Every structure is written in structure tokens, then in C-alpha cells.
Amino acid sequence: MYIILNAFSFLREKLAQKGIPYLDAQWMIDDKTRVVDLIDSLGLKQSDVEAVFLNHTVSSKETLLKEGDRVALLPPGTPGSYRLLSGLKEEH
């Protein structure tokens, strides 16, 4: 099955160095693949990915992926205002 992969910031550079497409890229995965498994298959460290958006919603790395899912990987260090707007950080 296929998903659509997007990566941001320095994750793009890491994937580009490996020759892995990272912008609206179709990525073939097996059934029962979780986000955490996808990150491993891309050759990234789990610590390289702070947040995952699955179909435009913040999701757990343990989430099971489905056909046609849109996955966006965000690295640590996303600026504060974007963290708040994206739901990574709650307003106090």
C-alpha cells in the first residue's frame, strides 16, 4: 500500500542525502506499518522526529498507517509560534 510522505527542515536534507524523496512522495509500505516503523525504514533516528502529522492532525508515532495516509515528519526545534498553531504545544 502507498502513503504520501512529507518531511520538513533538516529532515529534508537528511533524506535528500540518501536519495529519498521527501515532498509529496509516494512511499510504499507493508500492512501493519506504524509511523515509528516508517521513520526507521527511512534511516532516521527516532529522536530526529519530534512530531508527526497524519492526515493534517498531530498523531502518535505508534499509529498504524493506512492506504493513502498523508504523513508529515517534523524535527525538533520547530519555532514556538508554529508549535502552538500545530498543536504541539498548548497555550498557558
Would 91 be classed as within a structural domain? no
CATH of the domain at 77: 3.10.20.30
Is 39 among the domain residues?
A: yes
Task: Express each pLDDT in 9-65 by its tens digit.
Answer: 899 999 999 999 999 999 999 999 999 999 999 999 999 999 999 999 989 999 999
Residues spanned by the domain of 32: 2-86
In the prediction, which pLDDT does 92 show?
A: 46
Q: Is 49 a member of any domain?
A: yes
Q: Scanning the structure block, which residue is given the C-alpha cell 509500505?
A: 29
In a domain, 92, yes or no: no
Q: What is the distance, to the nearest Å, from the Cα of residue 49 to the centroid of all Cα atoms in its chain? A: 7
More confident residue, 60 or 77: 60
HSE, CB side, 13 Å, CA atoms: give it for residue 13. 4
- pTM of the model as a whole: 0.84
